[in-house]
Structure 1
Amino acid sequence: MKLDDKLYLVRFNTDKLNHIKITNGDLCLKCKDKVCTFICPAHVYDWDEEENRIAVGYEGCLECGTCRVACPHGNIKWDYPRGGFGVSWKNG
């Protein structure tokens, strides 16, 4: 089964409160590789050329925590969403 097929089985109850924060935007400007933009399986992070910053689309977060581990500067504050919100996995 392809990743896109598996992601189709995921359902989200999106909270209005963002559970992901970039701690210091200036560090992102200095980051050469911008690992968060390609390490996240849900593509939550995107480099916004016009605004010269990382855009975070937390609504599609799979809650794997890969981003906070992969960021070479430890610049991502990531918590689980509040109870009742976030990802729910559907089997079958």
Structure 2
Amino acid sequence: MNADHKVAKNHYQPEAQAHIIPAANLDPETMALLVKCCPAGLYHIMGDGSLRVDVHGCLECGTCRMLVDEQALKLWRYPAADYGIHLRFG
């Protein structure tokens, strides 16, 4: 079974509030880094130049948190208990 099939078996229980919120005014280089580094592909640069994060499906790996400075992500925390990713490798 390849990695895509394993990831597809995961279950995500969303919270009411996002657990990752990017800062409002990020420079284009930081936005490009976040888009490129996220293994789940959750970061997207919108047509107006803003950064959107789809936290549903977040693997909670912390890659984005480690690669940018503390000002780039206004909020990054693990979801509350019983929320977030539930890994099921099959």
TM-score by length of structure 2 reads 0.85
Aligned pairs, number: 87
Percent identity reads 28
Match of 1:42?
Answer: 40
1:78 equivalent in alignment to 2:76: yes
Deviations 1:53-84 (A, max 9, x none): 1101011101001001112x331231000111
Match of 2:24?
Answer: 25
- The one-letter code of the counterpart of 2:67 is A
RCO higher in 1 or 2 (8 Å CA, sep ≥ 6)?
A: 2
CA contact (8 A) 2:6 2:88 kept: no
After TM superposition, the structure 1 = structure 2 runs for residues 54-69 of structure 1, keeping only pairs within 5 Å, are: 54-69=51-66
Residues 37-46 or 1-10, more deviating: 1-10
Deviations 1:7-31 (A, max 9, x none): 1121111112100011x321x2x23
Match of 2:6?
Answer: 6
State the Cα RMSD in Å: 1.5
Match of 1:52?
Answer: 49
Q: Structure 2 unaligned runs (5+)? A: none
TM-score by length of structure 1 reads 0.83
